[in-house]
Structure 1
Amino acid sequence: MNVAASVEATNTPALIGSCPSCGSAALTGIYAQDDIPVSSCLLFDNAQAALQVDRGDIRLSHCEDCGFIFNAAIRQGASEYSERYEETQGFSPTFSSFHTALAKELIERHELRGREVLEIGCGKGEFLLLLSQLGENRCTGIDPSAHPHRIAGIEGAERVKLVPEFFAPELAQKQFDAIICKMTLEHIVPTLDFLRVVRAGIVEGSRPLVFFQIPNALRILSDAAYEDIYYEHCSYFTAGSLVRLFENAGFAPLRVLHQYDDQYLTIEATVGNAPPLDIADDRAEVARLAGSLAKRVAAKQADWAARIDAAVKTGRKVALWGSGSKAVSFLAALPDPAKIEAVFDINPNRQGHSMPGTGHHIVGPKDLTSICPDLVIVMNAVYRDEIARELIDAGIEAEIVAL
């Protein structure tokens, strides 16, 4: 795979030439990566099909005016979001605990009991199910990868309607008390246009809670977390650029939080008058970190490649834990992905399928004893403890390291 440390190619005429969040043309190329899978969460039946996944390029541009970062080389519609798209983290006890606590907090803070809730980009509907179970809310979820049958028969599902389609304004033609959009805005290129559509759909005179959750780009920049840079994620926000976008779109931001070990950025907003949100201007810090991103990523990728190479040379089996987007990005950056012996995942819907781009077969914890890895690289450090317990339960004495 070609992972470029320089960004000389960012002047290609096909690139997006103005910021999708503020319209500025003051853009600087900060990172480039070529020939990567455009769909990192698709399920493939075999390695041959997985190797034939459509590919694209990343050319991250930084807007000097608003601080927004985006993939200027994105091809609209290239990524596939369908019933084959398997993104859920709901099989993790760690994530499920976080999700439940988040739902409880929103219900209590905003008195969401017996209310009408809309979620744009609802995934498999797990969060809406929690809002129904814990607050008896009536919920509508819109997502092309939704599987309504997955929640059928579960307590609270009778109040949840999942629509397996892309969001369109006509699907939200009613008054909602809360509009939720979790881990979706980062998949959207025309960010300002999208938020203006959401704003225009709010019934005049109502003041719904508007809750968005996205990856925290400042952490990605600070840690040179290249595993969190992949094709579907075309938009990267810090707290400052997120607040500026919401204000430009006609919303009144109420608060911004860093959650889930600083990995997630959440914003609560409404419409109408509200006191200005006092938030630090992070544009100078973003510009500084963005300017050195490519160099720091290249060094980090070289370190991981050397570590894996050293392990394999001493006869140790190396495995990844987590087969989602982070793993696809991590594998795409390795000079020889075949040195990874196995990829584990606790999601049974992913097991038995193959990884986009490299064709690695995805296995589950039940396969630990037959593979017996010596080095397990955890794709998300927040899950390290629960993965360590899985290894202990299987009697595996492996070294565990996290990205």
Structure 2
Amino acid sequence: MNIATTTITQVQHELLCACPSCGSAELSGIYAQDDVPVSSCLLFENATAAAAVERGDIRLTHCAGCGFIFNAAFRAGASEYSERYEETQGFSPTFSRFHTRLAQELIDTHDLNGKEILEVGCGKGEFLLLLSHLGGNNCLGVDPSALPDRIKDAPGAERVTLIRDFFTPDMADRAFDAIICKMTLEHIIDTLDFLSVIREAVTEGSQPLVFFQIPNAMRILTDAAFEDIYYEHCSYFTDGSLVRLFEKAGFTPLRVLHQYEDQYLTIECTVGEPTAAMGPALVADDDRAEIASLAAVLAQRLAGRQAEWAQKIAAAAEAGKKVVMWGSGSKAVAFLSSLPAPQLIDAVVDINPNKQGSAMPGSGHDIIAPSELIGIDPDLVIVMNAAYCTEIMEDLASMGIAAQVVAL
């Protein structure tokens, strides 16, 4: 997770009646889910505290005007982003390789060597460390969940400054060569206002690379990926709605890419007329009709896939099999929230040592280390993210566990 300042205020349970990205009132409800945890990555000491997590409702709404999808029941400020928020994926070798490769590609493509870089919503600062270490860049990161002490001894930390706060334009006290914002915009309900804040932070006369990374909502629409729908993610973008938003906010989109097994969208922009080195401005395809068609049947398809997983788990439990989940992040919270009998899951595993010993928000499941599976000897391991299947199967084999592994 990463988060930055928001400006919309909402009365609890009041639904938004205008699109936060384009202002259109041509809205349609496409999916509803009640009483879900509003904070999926908080660390709770025990099951009682975890079960008492604040809850909220999801009312996914489609805007015909721009194709944007958002949770119209979202309450800004309900989710907690603090030192208790543990979102890092960096303990996974698979993710670390992707992260390092992404940082190097940005450095090489945009000549980010010895430059000034700002990251809004920097989390624990892992990506800035890579940009500093690999490119010798001076980096400023802003995030209310930042923990400067965690990175102080890491390579590149001497050029990284973290501010534990929400971002405001006055923090951009110099001209930056790149403004980065990864896995943050999906947490912002007032999307146009937020991008306007970022635009305001651009020093007059400068032309920085503006790089955003977010989840790819097309995967939810095409695969009925219900595990990617949870409270903190109030904003869902496809290529077209993302480009239209950035154009409306005063940016010049350059390219949109699909990454990490099609799970992420990245958009690269600048301000003003792009230089020859940047290439031409992007002319995006109009995907609004396709998105509207997929959105119209989303609820039915999500319900069918949720029922399939509930039946699979119930059948395994009835046969006396032990079922565990691997991954305790937001996908896991969404998955457990969809199950009629979450107690049939015997354990939730996570390789992040900072999460082990805590309890899952909502369900209260203990989060255990992989080594504890030896004592459980599971029959079925449900992997929350297919990108990690290979490394998880290798870990299981090293422990002598011959469980069936299936991924969402």
Give TM-score, length-normalised by structure 1: 0.96
CA distance in 2, matches of 1:78, 1:103: 32
CA contact (8 A) 2:13 2:73 kept: no
- Whole-Å Cα distance in 2 between the matches of residues 37 and 152 of structure 1? 32
Q: Which residue matches 2:262?
A: 262
Structure 2: runs of 5 or more not aligned = 1-11, 275-279
Report the Cα distance in structure 1 between the residues aligned to 2:314 and 2:199, rounded to whole angstroms: 51
Q: Which of 368, 375, 382 pairs up with 1:370?
A: 375
Q: Distance in 2 between matches of 1:372 and 1:66?
A: 49
> Which residue identity lines up with residue 323 of structure 2 in the other structure?
V
Given residue 301 of structure 2, which amino acid in structure 1 is its aligned partner?
R
Question: 1:235 & 1:338 partners in 2: Cα distance?
Answer: 30
The alpha carbon displacement at 1:201 in A equals 1.5
1:87-106 paired onto structure 2 within 5 Å: 87-106=87-106
**Structure 1 partner of 2:4:** none
Q: Displacement, 1:173?
A: 2.4
Partner letter of residue 84 of structure 1? R
1:393 pairs, out of 387, 393, 398, with 398
Question: What's the secondary structure of 1:74's corresponding residue?
Answer: coil
Alpha-carbon distance in 1 for matches of 2:108, 2:228: 32
The code of the aligned residue for 2:385 comes to N
What are the Cα deviations for residues 222-250 of structure 1, in whole angstroms up to 9, with x where unaligned? 11101000000000000000000000000
Alignment match, 2:160: 160
* 1:158-193 CA distance string (max 9 Å, x none): 000011111111212221100000000000011001
Q: 1:5 aligns to what?
A: none
Matched residue of 2:74: which SS?
coil
Structure 1 CA distance for aligned equivalents of residues 285 and 171 of structure 2: 36
Q: Is residue 120–residue 141 contact of structure 2 (8 Å, CA) maintained in 1?
A: yes
Mapping of residues 1-400 of structure 1, within 5 Å? 14-274=14-274, 275-400=280-405
Counting matched residue pairs gives 392
3-state SS of paired residue (1:139): strand
Give the secondary structure class of the aligned counterpart of 2:153: coil
Which whole-Å CA distance do the structure 1 matches of 2:249 and 2:267 have between them? Answer: 14
CA distance in 1, matches of 2:40, 2:80: 9
Query: What's the offset of the Cα at 1:368?
Result: 1.4
The one-character-per-residue Cα deviations of 1:206-226 (angstroms, maximum 9, x if unpaired) are 000000000000111111101
Distance 1:368 1:249 in 2: 49
User: For the residues of structure 1 that align with 2:86 and 2:220, how far apart are their CA atoms?
Assistant: 23
Name the % identity. 69
Instruction: State the SS of the aligned residue for 1:155.
Output: coil
Supply the distance in 2 between the matched residues of 1:159 and 1:13 (Cα, whole angstroms): 44
Distance 1:311 1:13, change over 3 A: closer
* Partner SS, residue 158 of structure 1: helix
Point out where structure 1 has 5 or more consecutive residues left out of the alignment: 1-11
TM-score by length of 2: 0.95
Q: Kindly state the Cα deviation for residue 279 of structure 1 after the two structures are TM-superposed.
A: 2.1
Structure 2: distance between partners of 1:13 and 1:228 = 22
The offset of 1:105, in angstroms, is: 0.3
Shift of 1:13: 7.9
